[in-house]
A and B are shown apart, each in its own frame.
Chain A
Amino acid sequence: MSSLFYIIRKQFKNVFRGLAQKPLALIGYILIGIMLVGFVVIAFIMPSGLVRSSSSEIFSAGITGFILISLYLGLRQGIEKGSTYFRFADVNLVFTAPLKPSQVLLYGFIKRIGTSLFIVFFTVFQIPNIKNNFVLADYGVLAILTAVLFYSVLFPILGMVIYSFTSHSNEGRVLVKRILDVTAILFVLFFIITLTVKRSLVEAFVSYFNYEVFSYIPIAGQLSTIASAAVYGIDYKFYISIAVLVTIIGLSVAILYNIYLDYYEDVLSATGELESRLKAKRKGRDASLEKRKIRKVEGGFSSYGARAIFEKHKLEYRKVSYFLFFDKSTLLVVLMGIGFKYLMAEGGSSIFFTLFFSAYMLFFLVIQGKWPMELEKPYIFLIPEPKGLKLLYTTFTENLKNLLDGTLLFIIAYFVYDTSIPVVLLCIISYTLYGAIYIYGDIVSRRLFGSIHSRVMLIFIKLIISFFVVLPGIIIMFVIQNITGNELFSVFSVTMWNLFVTMCLFLASLGIFNNIEST
Chain B
Amino acid sequence: MLQVKGLTKKYNNILAVNNVSFEVESGEIAVLLGPNGAGKSTTIKSIAGLLRFDGQILINGLPNKTIEAKKVFGYVPETAAMYEYLTVYEHIEFIARAYRLDESYREKAEYLLKRFELYDKIGKLGKELSKGMQQKLSICCALIINPKIIMLDEPMVGLDPKAIKELKSIFIDLKNQGCAVLISTHIIDSIEEVWDKVLIMNKGRVILSRTREELEEKAESLEDVYFRHTEGVSGL
Contact = CB atoms under 8 A, between A and B. Distances in A.
A421 to B, nearest CB: 37
A381 B95 CA distance: 12
B52 A515 contact: yes
Interface string A367-401: 00000010011110111111000000000000000
A312 B67 contact: no
B94 interface: yes
B67 A304 contact: no
A331 B141 CA distance: 37
A300 B93 contact: yes
A336 interface: no
B49 to A, nearest CB: 6
A315 B90 contact: yes
A514 interface: yes
Given A382-B75, A384-B71, A294 B97 contact: no
B125 A383 contact: no
Contact of B97 (A303, A378, A515, A517): A303
B86 to A, nearest CB: 7
A309 interface: yes
A311 interface: yes
Contacts of B125: 294
A290 B75 CA distance: 27
Contacts of A305: 97-98, 100
A378 B44 CA distance: 12
B108 interface: no
Contacts of A309: 98
Interface in B7-26: none
Given A308-B94, A378-B75, A516 B86 contact: no
Interface in A304-326: 304-306, 308-309, 311-312, 315-316, 319-320
B219 interface: no
Contacts of B186: none
B99 A384 contact: yes
A386 B84 CA distance: 26
Interface in B24-64: 45, 48-52
Contacts of B71: 384
Given A304-B97, A385-B98, A376 B81 contact: yes
B75 A319 contact: no
Nearest to A302: B97
Contacts of B49: 381-382, 515
B214 interface: no
B67 A386 contact: yes
B77 A316 contact: no
Contacts of A319: 85
A384 B68 contact: yes
A383 B70 contact: yes
A81 B154 CA distance: 36
Contact of B94 (A312, A373, A381, A515): A312
A460 interface: no
A288 to B, nearest CB: 13
Interface in A328-355: none
A316 B85 contact: yes
B81 A384 contact: no
Interface string B72-100: 00010100011111100010011101111
B50 A383 contact: no
A301 interface: yes
A377 B81 contact: yes
Contacts of A514: 65
A253 to B, nearest CB: 37
A224 B191 CA distance: 66
Contacts of A383: 70, 98-99
A517 B69 CA distance: 20
Nearest to A370: B85
Interface in B145-195: none
A373 B81 CA distance: 11
A377 B141 CA distance: 12
B7 to A, nearest CB: 14
A385 B49 CA distance: 13
Contacts of A378: 48, 50, 75, 77, 81
B10 to A, nearest CB: 11
Interface in A483-519: 514-517
B90 A300 contact: yes
B52 A306 contact: no
A519 to B, nearest CB: 11
A384 B48 CA distance: 12
Most chain B CB within 10 A, of A294, A319, A376, A379, is at A379
Contact of A301 (B52, B70, B82, B97): B97
A416 to B, nearest CB: 35
Nearest to A311: B97
Interface string B206-224: 0000000000000000000
Nearest to A21: B12
Given A308-B94, A378-B81, A386-B67, 8 more contacts: A301-B93, A311-B97, A316-B86, A379-B94, A382-B50, A382-B75, A516-B51, A517-B52
**4 interchain residue pairs of minimum CB distance:** A384-B70, A308-B97, A316-B85, A384-B71
Interface of B: 45, 48-52, 65, 67-71, 75, 77, 81-86, 90, 93-95, 97-100, 123, 125, 141
18 contacts: A300-B94, A301-B97, A304-B98, A305-B97, A305-B98, A306-B98, A308-B94, A377-B83, A379-B94, A379-B98, A381-B48, A381-B49, A382-B50, A383-B70, A383-B99, A384-B68, A384-B70, A515-B51
